[in-house]
Amino acid sequence: MHIDLSGKTALVSGSTQGIGLAIASGLAQAGATVAINGRTAEGVDAAIRSLSQQLPEARLLAAPGDVSGDAGVAAVLESAPTVDILVNNLGIFGSRPALEIGLDEWQRYLDVNVLSAVRLIRAYLPGMIERGWGRVQNIASDSAIAIPQEMIHYGVSKTALLGVSRGFAKAAAGTGVTVNSVIAGPTHTGGVEDFVYELVDSSLPWEQAQREFMRLHRPQSLLGRLIEPEEIANLVVYLASPFASATTGAAVRVDGGYVDSIVP
């Protein structure tokens, strides 16, 4: 299967590192012009330099702005006024006992993990519908379904994102625009390495720490290892392509079998 996204423009929020950077790389390799987003221009420029070294032919745009607020969304719209593919990847996570999560922190998680997606969908979906083609993907998590005890605020925010995806898919019904969630499982990123070492012995070598984390805290995984960001990106690129034209309103799993369910 050859995926060709030439002539399409994509925006990936939170794409200066981790899963977002891998998604941006995958879309660029498929031929899309990709707008790189992060909170600061310096971070975005560094990500673009790194991607350009790896992919000299990549077409990349700088679209800095904190999309958890209206001002940041306005800045992104100036850099990328029209997109065909929107990937809402921006997200924060961290462990905290449930009763120690204050209301301000709850609000922050909702602003970053949920309302950033809502803001960008509201900005770009009307144009997609008018043009009769578009792809919106919201990067959710296995935590949306299996709420983790150590970070229920994160899990609840990702549950809300599943509802956002299904609702906007209905708003785009019959227009040629698809809206889906991608349920990512436990994934190997720099931030996750820090998170792992919060929960297991920090003196352990990484490979041993990863195995211990999966054994103790994610035993449902059928992979028994963390997923690599590129494995998430592979699914996102497919869903962004014309081959996925009949997939909409779905929560598609790339979770390593973590969610114990025989349906998506």
Q: Give the residue numbers annotated as catalytic, written as ranges.
A: 154
DSSP state letter for 168: H
Give the angle subtended at the CA of 90 by the CAs of 89 and 94, to the nearest 5°: 115
Q: Are 58 and 47 in contact (CB under 8 A)?
A: no
Strand segments, DSSP code E, in the chain are 9-12, 33-36, 59-62, 85-88, 134-141, 177-184, 251-254
Q: Are 112 and 133 in contact (CB under 8 A)?
A: no
How far, in Å, CA of 166 to CA of 255, rounded?
A: 19
From residue 13, alpha-carbon distances to 100, 137, 178 in Å are 29, 11, 18
